Amino acid sequence: MKFFSFWRSLASFRVRIALNLKNVPTEVVFVDLDANAHRDPEYRRINPQMALPALVEDDGTTLFQSLAISNISTRNTPPRRCCRRYQRPRPRPCAGADGRLRGTSLLVPRVRRYLDHELNLRDTQQAAWRRHWIVETLAALEGHLAGHKDTGKFCHADAPTLADICMVGHVTVAVTQQIDLKIYPTVKRIFETAMALPEFARAHPLAQPDTPEAMRKS
Amino acid sequence: MKFFSFWRSLASFRVRIALNLKNVPTEVVFVDLDANAHRDPEYRRINPQMALPALVEDDGTTLFQSLAISNISTRNTPPRRCCRRYQRPRPRPCAGADGRLRGTSLLVPRVRRYLDHELNLRDTQQAAWRRHWIVETLAALEGHLAGHKDTGKFCHADAPTLADICMVGHVTVAVTQQIDLKIYPTVKRIFETAMALPEFARAHPLAQPDTPEAMRKS
């Protein structure tokens, strides 16, 4: 299986966690978005939409979209093994997925480009835009999770699910933007619990083979 | 089961289709977003996030998020019956779900409010914003679907799936904005095929009991 990844792509981050949790071995191909490698004819043959990530299975089936990959990329692995640590989330913890829908889709590069080139927003306006949607999503997540009977060590009970994968991506962006998590105590606790797991920690954007040296976690 | 719906809410539209396809009987409660009924204490007790739709099952379990509701709201109905017309999509037709992620999340009211109140965009700029993301999503959908081996009468093979539900919502917005579908022939064909089904047609925003008389389809 080939997994096309970029260190600071949030969607790649989500898939890396899922693949780690499911213990799926992949050959990782690094696609340098900063060098426009996703626009190369070579990658366009893999994904004509030129978006990351992509997963090419051994039979040639190609999957895009991090949630689809995270959900199904283990169909060829022994179920017992892949289900041990990673379960399909039950409905409510879609809180995490909802987090992705609400906030992250407003922070992706093509929206940034529109704000920049079409609306000519100043840097301070762009920073305010980012902050607004990050904070709104954190508040929604905290509202979903705090005090809910199904919330456990993780978003849903005591094992990581897709909800945690989505949440961790969003919170990582918030941390990068130096947003204080103190007023989102449930989110903060679950984020820290998840990031303490090696499967999450190893997937972190700043810990990848293609992370620039200067950005790398010490 | 109680389903909280509003005629022109796209997320409600998606759930109405799913409930029709699955033949799930529900008591529909109309929440008038235009009258801010979603901010009433009565609805906030159902969904503290004040968003539509919501589904309250007979045992009191409450679900939000249209995709979660569409996926699981039939767990109490006989499987044979609910599976006949409605199947879980296989990975690829997440094209439809992807459509939802890409475009629709940039067109929701809270984004419109931000463009309006925080960025003070003029009407023409707001119209250009809408058009940009609608067209971008149509192009992405057409790219996913056209000529793909799994594309059939519907997004995936010959029966409607969640992908069609998502796609139909997006295309309905495009039609409302008078965007010509001619250059998206696969999307256009599948949209027309789906909307010809009574389960889709009955769910249309302009055909609901709470649709204002002046907007109603003749």
Q: What is the mean pLDDT of residues B21-28?
A: 88
pLDDT tier, B66 (very low <50, low <70, confident <90, very high otherwise): confident
In whole angstroms, what is the distance from residue B158 CA to residue A67 CA? Answer: 24
Query: Which pLDDT score, from 0 to 100, does residue A139 have?
Result: 87
Q: What is the mean pLDDT of residues B74-86?
A: 37
In whole angstroms, what is the distance from residue B154 CA to residue B97 CA? Answer: 14
DSSP code, position B56? E
pLDDT tier, B60 (very low <50, low <70, confident <90, very high otherwise): confident
- For residue range A33-64, what is the model confidence (pLDDT) as tens digits? 989 999 899 898 888 778 888 888 888 777 77
Q: What is the mean pLDDT of residues B148-170?
A: 88
ipTM: 0.72
Share of chain A above pLDDT 90, in %: 40
CB contact under 8 A, B65 and A136: no
Chain B residues with beta carbon closer than 8 angstroms to that of A105 = 101-102, 105-106
Q: A147 in helix, strand or coil?
A: coil
* Crossing angle of helices A94-102 and A162-176, rounded to 10°: 40
- Residues of A engaging B, defined by a Cβ cutoff of 8 Å: 48-49, 63-65, 67-68, 71-72, 91-92, 94, 97-98, 101-102, 105-106, 110-111, 114, 118-119, 121, 125, 128-129, 132, 136, 140, 143-144
pTM: 0.76
Could you give the angle at the alpha carbon of B144 between the alpha carbons of B139 and B148, nearest 5°?
135
- For residue range B91-124, what is the model confidence (pLDDT) as tens digits? 343 444 444 445 667 887 788 889 999 999 999 9
Chain B residues with beta carbon closer than 8 angstroms to that of A118 = 128-129, 132
